[in-house]
Structure 1
Amino acid sequence: MVGSSADGDPPADGSADRAGRSQGRSRRRNTARGSGAAAAPVPDTRGEGGSPPPRTDEEWTSQARSILLRQLALGPRSRHQLLQKLAEREVPPAIATALLDRFEEVQLIDDAEFARMWVRTRTAAKALSRYSLRRELADKGIEPDLAEEALQQVTDEDEHLQARDVVRRKLRSSADLSDRAVRDKEVRRLVGVLARKGYNPGAAFSIVKEVLADTGTPD
């Protein structure tokens, strides 16, 4: 046959040499892929037992400062509220105290002003009695003397007029107050409204009777 020898010698055109070289290159590439250099190991920065390494004081301070600034951006906060927030984030007490002291020095935290603001806004929005306001300020961690100073913004007369206004707004115009049973039920309901705002029952009852008298409702 043309192009081949009778005893099986390879073709004279060199195709066998080229095929051999191609196979050799393929084997070398496969070997290189299979035995490539291992990836460099990632340094283990974990602490004992696989836990993250402890934070430095500087790192804690930076995190705590960010927490405080975010909280204050949402609105005024008392020192006690901010301390609770730092405790929730497990900021070390010594670092939390030092940072809160610093915020007070630059007047970013001012419990006296916070208390005054709280009394003004809660009185305007909710018509709360001084009793309820005092309790809320205590829940915010405001010292009693600062709370009493803030509560001086509301006088006895202010509180009385405020309670009368609440009763007038809550009085049901559809109620037939000429009916004794209906009137007594309405009185109890209105006394309950004032009681939930912190007015003592005796004062609340007197204020409700005053308002009903102003409307011409018979006693």
Structure 2
Amino acid sequence: MNTPDPDKLAKLQAALEAYEAGETSDLFDHAGEEARAPIRKRALGLLDQRARSRAELRERLVNAEFDPELVDDVLESFERNGLIDDSAFAHEWVRQRAARRGKSSRALDLELRDKGVAPHVRAEALSQLSQSDEESIALAVAEKKARGVREAPQDRAEYDKVLRRIVGALARRGFGASMSLTIGRRALDARIAELE
């Protein structure tokens, strides 16, 4: 069994006494910890609402007029302790937004970029969506929009008008023009067949 070093014990005891007295020591920075406490509290409150990227959290804290240097210290501590993790955040963001919001990988990439997620982390997170996943998501969006059609179009002009609405819904979610048009037609034609 190792015997504790008396010099280290004495230094630790002196540091604890200094901390309790509110003084700064080599081991504890009482004033620094007090300055970081409100930043930690705000950051934890923001993380309690929803997961956030490091850059997004930093921006919110700096905008709340906290010292940027202290904010960086707190965020580094959060990263070391696993409270913020851009990779996990990006993976979950892609999974949820693709499933619940019907977003394309292009739209998700832009959202993650706006949240300050690094390009290699975004690419890794987006790799979980395959081409067939994207097509399935686009088809679900198109079918939902096509269900709004109550009667079959009477002529080509009316058909094109309805198709533009469906393609527009896909485009707003970031799907490419070619895919949007192909899948939009498929969904509209299937809906027309149901109505006839």
**Would you say same fold, with TM above 0.5?**
yes
Q: Point out where structure 2 has 5 or more consecutive residues left out of the alignment.
A: 1-30
Moved more, 84-93 or 56-65: 56-65
User: Does the aligned pair in 2 maintain the 1:60–1:91 contact within 8 Å?
Assistant: no
CA drift of 1:104 comes to 0.2
Which residue in the other structure is 1:75 paired with?
Answer: 50
One of 61, 67, 76 as aligned partner of 1:86: 61
Q: Are residues 173 and 89 of structure 1, via their aligned partners in 2, closer, same or farther at CA, if it must alter by over 3 Å?
A: closer
The equivalences for 1:148-163 within 5 A come to: 148-163=123-138
Which structure has the larger Rg?
1
Q: Which amino acid aligns with 2:77?
A: R
Of 169, 177, 181, the match for 1:193: 169
Q: Residue 88 of structure 1 aligns to which amino acid in structure 2?
A: N
- More displaced stretch, 128-137 vs 66-75: 66-75
Pairing 1:90-169 to 2, within 5 Å after superposition:
90-169=65-144
2:167–2:181 CA contact under 8 A, matched in 1: yes
Q: Which has the higher contact order (CA 8 A, sep 6+)?
A: 2
Asked if the contact 2:153–2:159 (Cα under 8 Å) also holds between the matched residues in 1, the reply is: yes
The structure richer in helix per residue is: 2
Q: Distance in 1 between matches of 2:134 and 2:154?
A: 29
Distance 1:201 1:120 in 2: 23
In structure 1, list runs of 5 or more residues that go unmatched.
Answer: 1-55
Aligned residues with identical type, % of pairs: 36
- The answer to whether the 8 Å contact 2:163/2:184 transfers is yes
1:140: how far off?
A: 0.7
Q: Which whole-Å deviations, capped at 9, do the CAs of 1:178-208 have from their partners, x for residues lacking one?
A: 4222111111111111000101222211111
Q: Is contact 2:167–2:180 with CA below 8 Å preserved after alignment?
A: yes
RMSD: 1.6
Give the direction of change, closer, same or farther, for the CA distance of 1:209–1:61 in structure 2 (3 Å limit): same
Residue 170 of structure 1 deviates from its aligned partner by 0.9
Equivalent residue for 1:33?
none
Secondary structure of 1:175's aligned partner? coil
Further displaced range: 191-200 or 167-176: 167-176
Asked whether the 8 Å contact 1:132–1:197 carries over to 2, the reply is yes
> After TM superposition, where is structure 1 displaced by more than 6 Å over at least 4 residues in a row?
none
CA contact (8 A) 2:56 2:115 kept: yes
CA drift at 1:82: 1.2
Q: May I ask how many residue pairs the two structures share in their alignment?
A: 162
